[in-house]
Structure 1
Amino acid sequence: MSEARHVRARFSRAAHRYDDVADFQRQMGERLLATLPHGLPSGWMLDGGCGTGHGLGLLRRHWPDAEVLALDFAYPMVARATANSRLCADLQALPLANASMEGIWSNLAIQWCNPDAVAREMARVLKPGGWLAASTLGPETFRELRQAFATVDRYRHTIPFPDPDHVASAFRRVGFIDVQLRRETLVLHYPDMVSLLSAVRDLGASRVTGGGRRPGLMGKAAWRRFVSAYELMAESSGLPLSYDTLCINATLGMGL
């Protein structure tokens, strides 16, 4: 099973409690909303990777009269979204007509996609001159986890995230212009390892497939070394965990 399918399965299982643990996602939604300039056209908008629908409220706040299509690849997630128009589908294969959307909003979803595939689909369904606002994660996300695991073994324990330049180039290649990247490290603190690892799991980033993953379970001694190494990084606010956040704003070019 691919990493994307593992993420979909994990989100599907977590849908009933997702709103209780999605603090980071909500913070990123507010940050992404703050990047949107006033005066953007409304009309039909796509909330790509809507989860349980937090972004819908943000979009309605910004555009009270807009028609928003809520889309997620995990059916139990989109089923909980309070939208008139909902669709369970993959951002990399959108079942939408060409040039059918005025704008696309996507909060913490495209990191699970191939950058070239998702950029191509977004460009296809946007109208010329349409806008894109997306947040995602960069390669420095969870650096503390990698440091602590490196004291135990050399396997991958979290899903890798793409380089920001690669993501920006993918959107430029398919016709997006004025591509702007805002990169910021957000450090959250957790009271203990259980809550920290739960946050990583609920984000969908803990299930690693393919080459480089650890064969089998970690033993008790290795687990204790990992926890001890992580606890050495503890701060007064708790155990730190870094998120390498990216906000992307772009406009689809008018073409020839």
Structure 2
Amino acid sequence: MIDKERARRGFERAATHYDRVAVLQREIADRLLERLDYVRLEPQRILDLGAGTGYAVGALHRRYRRARVIALDFAHGMLLQARKRGGWLRRPWCVCADAEALPLADGAVDLIVSNATLQWCDLERAFDECLRVLRPGGLFMFTTFGPDTLKELRQAWSEVDGDSHVSPFLDMHDIGDALVRARFADPVMDVERLTLTYTHARDLMRDLKLLGAHNATHERPRTLTGRARLAAVERAYENYRDAGRLPASYEVVYGHAWVPEQKPGAGGITIPLSAIGGRGRSGGRI
């Protein structure tokens, strides 16, 4: 279970320097937004769920010039950075709120885009809220991380102690099942595996700290990590060195699903064929 308050504080502290190290987050945001090329949708209102410093907002404005974009994040500091980003056709509405309790009316938006956010949420609650605020026929597109993410760091820590030091990540199939339970229609899931490399393990741990991606599990150790244990983790991580570099693996999960034309309880489920088009680069429907 994630300690949401600790996670929020981590991102508040990271807001001013987040963009310096968010290389992976920008890359997967770009890949997620490319998938909108295969979707026939003309949204009037778009929710960027977990907008962070607003990287995706400009791209959404350029793609959907008539749409109003709502940038929502649970860290106020992130939204302050988003307001400074500029270069937009018009400023987004910035809303500081939790994905598990969206302060939006039922059916208020046509499209939700969420990049690298859902791993910090209770999926059942977040998916229920996304279904609620999307209009019938609306689209939900997201990325999150799967269980092989940071597997080297997790294994290195396991050789030092038995505590929880790396946040857990759900399997793609479990995420898809959660979409079905929330009563989304036609969920489609796929995975990419990306790797960042570092000279030293401490460089990876520094980047995670700068991103605000702290260990926020309730099971985390509540004492400071001493130098001796950090040194032991670095030694254990050396087992993964290849061609002079240390890998940090990321299992990136992509998902999308539609809201039924008649929401659950309204007497049926239909998805217009006109809203679905093309195939993604990986061969799956997008």
CA distance in 2, matches of 1:12, 1:222: 27
Shift of 1:183: 0.8
Q: Tell me the equivalent position of 1:114.
A: 122
Alignment deviations for residues 81-140 of structure 1 (CA, whole Å, 9 cap, x no partner): 143311101110000000010000001111100010000000000000001111101111
* Offset at residue 215 of structure 1 (A): 5.1
TM-score, reference length from structure 2? 0.84
Residue type at the aligned position of 1:253: P
Q: Which of the numbers 255, 260, 267 marks the counterpart of 1:248?
A: 255
1:174 counterpart residue number: 182
Q: Tell whether 2:153 aligns with 1:145.
A: yes
Partners in 1 of 2:147 and 2:67 — Cα distance? Answer: 34
Between 199-208 and 183-192, the greater mean CA deviation after superposition = 199-208
Please say which of residues 1-10 and 106-115 is displaced more in the overlay. Answer: 1-10
Q: Which residue does the alignment assign to 2:20?
A: 20
User: Could you tell me which amino acid in structure 2 is paired with residue 7 of structure 1?
Assistant: A
Identify if the C-alpha distance between structure 1 residues 100 and 228 changes in structure 2 by more than 3 Å, giving closer, same or farther. same
Q: Cα offset for 1:203?
A: 4.0
- Verify: 1:84 aligned to 2:85, yes or no: no
Q: Distance in 1 between matches of 2:14 and 2:212?
A: 10
Distance 1:240 1:250 in 2: 32
Partners of 1:224 and 1:80 lie apart in 2 by 35
Equivalent pairs, count: 255
Percentage of pairs with the same residue: 38
| Residues in 2 aligned to 1:221 and 1:13: alpha-carbon distance in whole angstroms | 26
Q: Deviations over 1:199-226 (max 9, x none)?
A: 2224443324423x33523444333221
Q: Secondary structure at the match of 1:56?
A: helix
Partner SS, residue 15 of structure 2: helix
Structure 1 residues 1-256: aligned runs within 5 Å: 3-36=3-36, 37-82=38-83, 83-211=91-219, 213-214=220-221, 216-236=223-243, 238-255=245-262, 256=267
Measure, in 2, the Cα distance between the counterparts of 1:208 and 1:102: 32
Amino acid at match of 2:238: E
Listed as ranges, the gaps of 5+ residues in structure 1 are none
* SS of equivalent to 2:110: strand
C-alpha displacement of 1:195? 2.0
CA shift in 2, pair 1:5/1:215, >3 Å: closer
Structure 2 residue matching 1:232: 3-state secondary structure: helix
Aligned equivalents of 2:118, 2:217: Cα separation in 1: 18
- The separation in 1 between residues aligned to 2:202 and 2:228, in whole angstroms, is 17
TM (norm. structure 1) is 0.93
Change (3 A) 1:170 1:20: same
1:237, CA displacement in angstroms? 6.1
Instruction: Answer yes or no: is the 8 Å Cα contact 1:53–1:81 preserved in 2.
Output: yes
Q: Report the Cα distance in structure 2 between the residues aligned to 1:15 and 1:215, rounded to whole angstroms.
A: 24
8 Å Cα contact 1:186-1:242 kept in structure 2: yes
| 1:80, distance to aligned residue in structure 2 (A) | 1.9
Give the whole-Å Cα distance in 1 for the aligned partners of 2:67 and 2:245.
41
Q: Please, which runs of 5 or more residues in structure 2 have no aligned partner?
A: 84-90, 268-286
Report the aligned-residue RMSD: 1.8
